[in-house]
């Protein structure tokens, strides 16, 4: 318990150092664009592939499990849309990104820490936490919502493809279900959640990487710990946000 509280204190102190005014805005902007490319744009392909096939599987599974004369056929499209928007594209996709992007951040910063590059920045009078971590946090918070919208879109495309090629159900019936009783708020709810999830995965991964000491084995452990803790915190935040925003 004491160790856990100590970690929370060190995390809060690190975030205090991170969220200060950058010493040079031109350097920050260059770092920010670089992080968007490295952490966000490079994740587009995995988001598209996973969303496409999960969208297709969701449609097949729902069609098989609610194939009843008492249920209208468009229910498949309606339920698929709700699953994709409310949970898969926001929460599950962020859990996947926490594994890919979070481990990348933790290992990169951890390597800088154990090779004393961060100490060199501090000696030169640079706020290393602000210089290294802030662009990563802001880049993920601004780009992960784009990935989530892409996930929603390609999940729906996967559903259409399996309806047309797999002849699971008529595509126009699936489309009607997608449009039936649509609430725009659900999309904004998903985007708000992902901004918070992006902050969690980037800041927690940065904390574990920044706190790494020792050698390469310690960097690997920090990377693993960051993914585990980020995933747990994302699930807890998902429960709390759902209670606050959907009740």
What's the CA gap between 19 and 182, in Å, rounded?
Answer: 38
pLDDT at 199: 95
pLDDT band (50, 70, 90) for residue 196: very high
Nearest CA-CA partner of 101 in 141, 56, 157: 141
pLDDT band (50, 70, 90) for residue 47: very high
> Which residues lie closer than 8 Å to 214 by C-beta, 6 or more apart?
114
Q: What percent of the chain has pLDDT over 70?
A: 100
The answer to whether residues 170 and 203 touch, using CB atoms and an 8 Å cutoff, is no
pLDDT at 136: 93
pLDDT at 22: 87
pLDDT at 166: 80
Question: If you average pLDDT over residues 84-90, what whole number do you get?
Answer: 88
What's the CA gap between 93 and 194, in Å, rounded?
Answer: 9
pLDDT at 39: 87
> Which residues lie closer than 8 Å to 201 by C-beta, 6 or more apart?
94, 97, 98, 101, 102, 140, 230, 234
């Amino acid at each position: 318990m004491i160790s856990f509280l100590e970690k929370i204190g060190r995390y809060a102190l690190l975030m205090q150092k991170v969220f200060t005014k950058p010493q040079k805005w031109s350097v920050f902007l260059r770092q920010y664009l670089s992080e968007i490319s490295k952490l966000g744009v490079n994740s587009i392909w995995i988001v598209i592939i996973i969303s496409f096939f999960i969208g297709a599987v969701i449609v097949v599974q729902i069609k098989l499990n609610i194939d009843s004369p008492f249920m209208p056929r468009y229910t498949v499209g309606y339920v698929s849309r709700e699953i994709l928007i409310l949970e898969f594209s926001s929460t599950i996709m962020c859990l996947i990104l926490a594994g890919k992007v979070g481990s990348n951040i933790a290992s990169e910063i951890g390597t800088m820490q154990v090779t004393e590059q961060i100490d060199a920045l501090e000696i030169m009078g640079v706020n290393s936490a602000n210089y290294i971590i802030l662009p990563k946090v802001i880049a993920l918070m601004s780009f992960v919502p784009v990935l989530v919208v892409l996930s929603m879109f390609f999940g729906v495309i996967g559903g259409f493809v399996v309806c047309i090629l797999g002849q699971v159900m008529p595509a126009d019936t699936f489309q009607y279900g997608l449009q039936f009783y649509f609430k725009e708020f659900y999309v904004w709810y998903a985007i708000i959640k992902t901004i918070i999830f992006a902050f969690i995965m980037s800041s927690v991964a940065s904390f574990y990487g920044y706190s790494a000491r020792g050698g390469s084995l310690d960097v690997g452990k920090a990377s693993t710990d960051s993914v585990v803790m980020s995933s747990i915190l994302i699930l807890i935040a998902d429960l709390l946000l759902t209670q606050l925003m959907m009740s």
